[in-house]
Chain A
Amino acid sequence: MTTDVVPGIVAVVLVSLATLVIGTWGLRISRTTSDFFVASRTVRPRLNASAIGGEYLSAASFLGVAGLLLTFGAEMLWYPVGWTAGYLVLLVLVAAPLRRSGAYTLPDFAEARLGSRGVRKLCSVLVVGIGWLYLLPQFQGAGVTLRSTIGAPEWSGSLVVAVVVLASVSPGGMRSITFVQAFQYWLKLTALLIPVFVLLAVWLADGAADPTASAPASWSVPLAAPGGGIGLYTTYSLIVATFLGTMGLPHVVVRFYTNPDGRAARRTTLAVLALLGIFYVLPPVYAALGRIYAPGLVAGRSDVLVLELPNLMVGGAVGAVLTGLVTAGAFAAFLSTSSGLTIAVAGVLSQDVTGRRWGSFRLGGVAAFRVAAAIAVVVPLLMSLPAQDVAVARTVGLAFAVTASTFAPLLMLGIWWRGLTPAGAVAGLLVGGLGSGFAVAWTLATSPAAGWASALLGQPAAWSVPASFLTMVAVSRLTRASVPAHAGRFMVRLHTPEVVELKR
C-alpha cells in the first residue's frame, strides 16, 4: 500500500497550496481588525454555512466515524447523529440570541451578560483548554494519515498541518479563512462522494455481498457495549454530550458572530444541518463495505479505513486517483478544523493575554492576534508529539462532554433565564468543568475497563451536565441579590428582532 506514495503526496501538496492561495487572496480584502476577527459580520448564510460545515467536519468525522462504525457497528452512528442534532439544539436555543448579543467569543458573552470579570477569566481558561483538547486529535490524525498514505513518520504530518494552519490564519484572519473553509467543506464532500459511487459499483459487480454476514449481532444494534443498563447509560450519556456540546464549541460559536443578524444566524444553522446530513450519510457506506473488503482493519487500525478502502477494492490507476482524493479530503479536514480552533483560541488569547500591556510594551490588535495564533498552535503540537494511541473520535467525544457540562448550561441559562448571577455561573462552570475534566483525564490516563465506574467516567455527560445546571440555578437562587442590574435590558437585546428599533 505504501509503494504508491505519489497520489498521497500530490494530494497533500495540492490541498496545502490551495489553502494558502485562497487564504492569501482573502488577505487582499482583509483590512481592519473587524475583518480579522469577524469578517466584518457580513458573511451570507450560504457561504457561512459551508464555512461552518468545513470547519466542523474534523478528522473525527472524516476518518474516525467510518473506522468506529466498521469495528463497533450501529452504536457509533450516535456520533454523527449527535454532531448533527447538536445544531438543531443550537438553532432553537442559542443561534439568534447569541448573534444578537453582539459579543465575539464565549468569554465576551459571559462578561456582557453577567457584568463580571471573574466569569470572563474562567470562560477564557475553559475556551483555551477545550480548544487544545480538540486540536490534539487533529494533529494526531494528520500524523496517522501521512504514515498510512506516504509512510512518513507521524510527527511530520502534525508539523505540516501546524505550519499550513499558521501560515493561512496569521495573515488574513477570519475573512480569508471563511473562504478557505467553505472550499474545504465541498472538497471533503467530493472526496467522500466520488469514491462511494465507484466503490458501490464495484460492490454491485461483485454480487452485492451482505456486509452483516461477517459481523456480530451487536453490529446492528444502536446501543453501546456491553448492552444492558450500562449500555443504555453510555448511549444516552453520549447523546447528551453531543446534542448539547455543539453549542459550546469555541470555534463554532465564533462563526455565529460573522452573521449579519439574528435571522441570518438561524438560516445559517439550518443550512449547516442540511450540509452535515448530506455528509454523514457517506461514512456508514465505507464502514459497511469495509466489513466485506477490509476485514483486516476491523481490529486495530480502523482509523485508516477511508484511506485504504479504495486501494483494497479497486487498485490500479483508478484506485490511486481515489486514494489521492480521500487523502486530500482527510488533509482538508485537519486543516479546516485546526484553523477554526486556532482562530477561536487565538481570539481569546489575544484579548486576554497577548493584547495586554506587558510593562510599557503593548502589541496592537493584529500583531497580538498573530502572536496568540502561534501560541495556540505550538502548545497542542508539542502535546501531540509523544504519539499516544487514542482513537481520534474518542478524544473529540470527550471534548464534547466538557463543553456540554460548562458552556451549554451557561449559554442556555444566560439566554433564557434572567435570574442567573455571576456567582451561580462560576459555581456551575466549576462543578461541570472539574467533574467532566476529571473524568476525561481519568479516561485518557487509564486503560478502559468494564463496569459502572468506568462507564460513568468514560462518558460523564449524563451526570455532569445536570450537576452543572442544578448548581448554576441553586447558587443563583442563593445569591439572588446580585442579579445584574442590566439583565432585563440584555434580554431585550438578545431576543427582539433587529427591525424593531430599541435601545440595545
Chain B
Amino acid sequence: MSDQPPPRVRVTGPPRRRAHAVRSAGTREIDAETALGEVFMRSLLREQLFLALRVLAALAATVGMLPLLFHLFPSLGDERVGQMPLAWLLLGVLTYPWLVVLGWFYIRRSEDHERDFADLVGSLDEAGPEDPR
C-alpha cells in the first residue's frame, strides 16, 4: 500500500483566446531569470502591490473611518437624512456603489500596468538581444 498519492497535475481547458502572443527577447530574459528579467518582474509586482494598497487605503479612509467617527461624535447617531438615520444611509446604501467604483478603478489601472508590462517586455525585440539596454 503506497501512502503517497500521485503528484498533483494541473487541469486546464483548451486555450480559448490566444490574442497576439508576445514572444520576444524580454520574455527570454524573464524565463532565464537574469538580472534584467528580475527587474521587469520586481517593477510589475511593486506597481500592482502599490495599486492594491492605494485602493485599500481609500477603503480604510472612508468606510473604515465610520466606527471611529460615530465613536468620537456620538451626536452623529441622531443625524437624519429625510426619514433615514445617517448610519443606515451610509452603510445600508451608499457604501455599495462606492465599493463598485473602487473595484472599477482598480481593474482599469491594473490592466494598464499589465499592458505596459507586455509592451515593455515586447519592445526589447526591436533593440536586439545583444543590446538589452
Contacts and interface: CB of A to CB of B under 8 A. Distances in A.
A280 to B, nearest CB: 7
A38 interface: yes
A232 B87 contact: no
B100 A495 contact: no
A286 B89 CA distance: 15
A77 B92 contact: yes
A88 B59 contact: yes
Nearest to A278: B96
Contacts of A491: 41, 45
Interface in B50-109: 51-52, 55-56, 59, 63-64, 66-68, 70-71, 74, 76-78, 83, 85-88, 90-93, 95-97, 99-100, 102-104, 106-107
A85 B45 contact: no
Contacts of A37: 11
A281 B121 CA distance: 45
Contacts of A25: none
Contacts, number: 185
A41 B12 contact: yes
Given A221-B70, A273-B103, A503-B31, A492 B97 contact: no
Interface in A445-500: 488-489, 491-492, 495-497, 499-500
A42 B70 CA distance: 46
Contacts of A111: 8
B2 A284 contact: no
Contacts of B64: 239
Contacts of A488: 33, 38, 41
Interface in A17-53: 33-34, 37-38, 40-42
B49 to A, nearest CB: 6
Interface string A415-443: 01000000000000000000000000000
Nearest to B64: A239
Interface size class of A (residues with CB under 8 A): 35 or more
A231 B91 CA distance: 17
A357 B121 CA distance: 46
Contacts of B19: 499
Q: Which of B91, B103, B111 has the most CB of A within 10 A?
A: B103
A299 interface: no
Interface residues of B, number: 68
A236 interface: yes
Contacts of B83: 208, 210
Contacts of B27: 500-502
Interface string B15-26: 011011111000
Contacts of B48: 495
B70 A92 contact: no
Nearest to B31: A503
B92 A284 contact: yes
Contact of B20 (A210, A222, A235, A499): A499
A360 B59 CA distance: 55
A92 B117 contact: no
A313 interface: no
B2 A357 contact: yes
A488 B44 CA distance: 13
Contacts of A496: 30, 41, 44, 114, 117
Contacts of B5: 351-352, 355-357
B41 A277 contact: no
B71 A92 contact: no
B104 A270 contact: yes
Given A232-B71, A273-B103, A500-B27, A74 B85 contact: yes
7 A-B pairs with least C-beta separation: A277-B96, A220-B85, A77-B91, A92-B52, A497-B114, A221-B77, A74-B87
12 contacts: A38-B11, A38-B13, A41-B13, A87-B99, A88-B102, A220-B86, A232-B71, A273-B96, A281-B92, A357-B2, A489-B33, A495-B45
Given A221-B70, A280-B96, A499-B22, 13 more contacts: A38-B13, A41-B12, A78-B91, A91-B103, A222-B66, A223-B70, A260-B13, A260-B17, A269-B103, A270-B100, A274-B100, A492-B30, A502-B30
